[in-house]
Amino acid sequence: MNVLVIGGAGYIGSHCVRQLIEAGHRPVVLDNLVYGHRAALGEGVKFYKGNLEDKETVGKILDAEKIDIVMHFAAFINVGESVQNPIKYYRNNLSGVVNLVEAMIERGVKKFVFSSTCATYGMPQKLPLTEDHPQLPINPYGQTKLDVENFLKACARAYGLSFVALRYFNASGAAEDGTIGEDHSPETHLIPLTIFAATGKRPSINVFGRDYKTRDGTCLRDYIHVDDLCRAHIAAFKNLEIPSSGSFYNLGTGTPNSVSEIIRGVEEVTGLKVPVVYGPRREGDPDALYANSEKAKAELGWEIKFNDVREIIETAWRWHKNNPDGFPKE
């Protein structure tokens, strides 16, 4: 199938492009390269540089490439920034999707895969988190993702759209061959930040709080390998054959690791010492956050390959060791 991958030059999108090719699909990428990297895409991948604000261009791509399915990875994801600049997040994360889906509906393209987030749940009331947990986001980032989910429900009822929304936990790791991986600016994810502290690219790793009600006092999070996430996206295609349908799935391992365990894991994998600076808790950080992903396993046949966080760290280290400055700059 011809698959339009919005944000396909970004971290998760570029890994998904590879898997689409391996699965026999033809990916077409639309990315504005604000955070993505053209070098993350292999030779021969059809690429368009553009924004979802330009609905006319999106429509021309849908027509010219005879698109069957659209996948969306183009959201802004910095929680703190979303609090400081909510207009930026609502314009990109919500308005951009409205433009995209409107262009799709006008052309009869009605299959959509959306990368959502566990941030739609807000503070956990019970663990592990299941898909029926109340959705009460506590920041604009999570709210925009929930708003898109509700928008997609409305479009399914009104226009026959079929969609799948995949609620990620902590995406992490890199391609096993070390050729693509995380290269964010600024970087906010724990594993690469800890690797940077180990290699001297930054002076230390900051740990916010060590008095949580966890096994070592630091926060517990669910780290899921980026390639495992991508496998779920492609497995979800079968759900799109049902008109006017919407499906929601958590994607995590269900086995949380603490911040301190990640730091120790990076030290063990790299053989380097990680300088640590401890500080007070950040507002809104729950003690623990991890998934129940049994629904995805049962309904999609999804299987997790990377169950051990050390294996995830090993793939991240392979990427950063081989590419200390990230992707070549455009």
Write out the catalytic residue numbers: 141
- In the 3-class helix/strand/coil scheme, how is the chain assigned residue by residue? CEEEEECCCCHHHHHHHHHHHHCCCEEEEEECCCCCCHHHCCCCCEEEECCCCCHHHHHHHHHHCCCCEEEECCCCCCHHHHHHCHHHHHHHHHHHHHHHHHHHHHCCCCEEEEEEEHHHCCCCCCCCECCCCCCCCCCHHHHHHHHHHHHHHHHHHHHCCEEEEEEECEEECCCCCCCCCCCCCCCCCHHHHHHHHHHCCCCCEEEECCCCCCCCCCCEECEEEHHHHHHHHHHHHHHHHCCCCEEEEEECCCCCEEHHHHHHHHHHHHCCCCCEEEECCCCCCCCEECECCHHHHHHHCCCCCCCCHHHHHHHHHHHHHHCCCCCCCC
Residue 248: CB atoms within 10 A of its CB come to 20
> Of 15, 45, 19, which is closest to residue 30 (Cα–Cα)?
45
Give the position of tokens 């890994």.
15
The contacts of residue 326 (CB under 8 Å, 6+ apart) are 37, 183
> Of 200, 170, 171, which is closest to residue 324 (Cα–Cα)?
200
Q: How many residues does the chain have?
A: 330
- Give 69's strand partners: 3
